Amino acid sequence: MSRKTLYELQAENVRKTYLFIVTFSLILFAIGYFFVWYFNWGLTGIVLLAIFIVLYNWIAYEQSDKIALASVGAIPAHPEEYYVLHNIVEEVALAAGIPKPNVYIMEESQPNAFATGKDPKHASVCVTTGLLQMMNREELQGVIAHEISHIRNRDILLMTVVAVVAGLIILLRDVMLRSMWWGMGESRRRDKNDNGAIILLIIGLIFSIIAPLIVLIIRSAISRQREYLADATGAYIVRDPYGLASALEKIGSYTRPMRVTSDATAHLFISNPFGRAEKLFATHPPIEERIKRLKSLTM
């Protein structure tokens, strides 16, 4: 593996985010254009479509963190009740040289955590109540350091934008599948030509097959290497790899999946929210390997 400096890595992540947004906009425009053509909406349709895409991208870029937090049901951590957590986040942010991120809590017994936001000035970390119960101070510090290095490496913008966009892809697929059912039942009554209905059917079918694939490919593109990197930088920030290693051991021994989870947000978390099932397109490297690498960091 070639060595990259932190700044190269940050620039690369920002570049990837823009590339992703552009690619996705093109795909969205192609799909939308098909609808405009099929329903004969004309110029108005195209203008509306363009407005929608611009608006959606703006939302994905500016508001993705709030959407991601809301979609997992995270609430702000009360500073009095969770003062230890607030203290730890403040310390690690100080060590990393970034402003203190917002702190969120998720009612969930699986120990897990994630970070989100478009840049270090607008970032949040979120931990589950299960994590807080299970970890001692050093372990919690390790986990927070992992999340804060995602913030510092600018991984989170790309990861969060992907989460929001993946949510839309999945939604679109469902809408298409549903409209296909309606289309088949009502095509005769609506007096539309059957050719159109068949085209819609075919596109819908293709989309329902490729949509999850797109999500999978994107998620794998957010490489597993990134998790190793965040582990290593996290350990470096707090000058202690053992806290995170021991936290990962505890996380790894918890096998029940998360209550609220979806394909769209899975890759945000520090460990796979679906539990330990090994998958072809796994979003996370195996925990044993991560622990091994952490412990082999030369001191």
Amino acid at 225: Q
Please tell me whether residue 17 binds other proteins under the rule CB under 8 A: no
Max CA separation in the chain (angstroms): 75
| Residue from 124, 160, 233, 271 binding other proteins (CB under 8 A) | 233
Identify the CA nearest to 250 among candidates 158, 121, 128: 128
Q: Are strands 113-117 and 75-76 parallel, antiparallel or unpaired?
A: unpaired
> 85 or 159, CB closer to other proteins?
85
| Residue from 29, 208, 240, 263 binding other proteins (CB under 8 A) | 240
Quickly count: other Cβ atoms within 10 Å of residue 198's Cβ.
Answer: 13
> CB of 297 within 8 A of CB of 235?
yes
Active site residue 81: no
Q: Are strands 102-106 and 123-128 parallel, antiparallel or unpaired?
A: parallel
Please tell me whether residue 78 binds other proteins under the rule CB under 8 A: no
> 232 or 258, CB closer to other proteins?
232
| Residue from 97, 191, 194, 195 binding other proteins (CB under 8 A) | 97
Please tell me whether residue 241 binds other proteins under the rule CB under 8 A: yes
Which is the catalytic residue, given 139, 147, 186, 227?
Answer: 147
- Report residue 170 CA to chain centroid gap: 14
Q: Is 131 helix (H, G, I), strand (E, B) or coil?
A: helix
Please tell me whether residue 100 binds other proteins under the rule CB under 8 A: no
Active site (catalytic) residues: 147
Contacts to other proteins by CB under 8 A: 1, 3-4, 83-84, 87-88, 90-92, 94-95, 97, 137, 141, 229, 232-233, 235-236, 238-241, 297-299
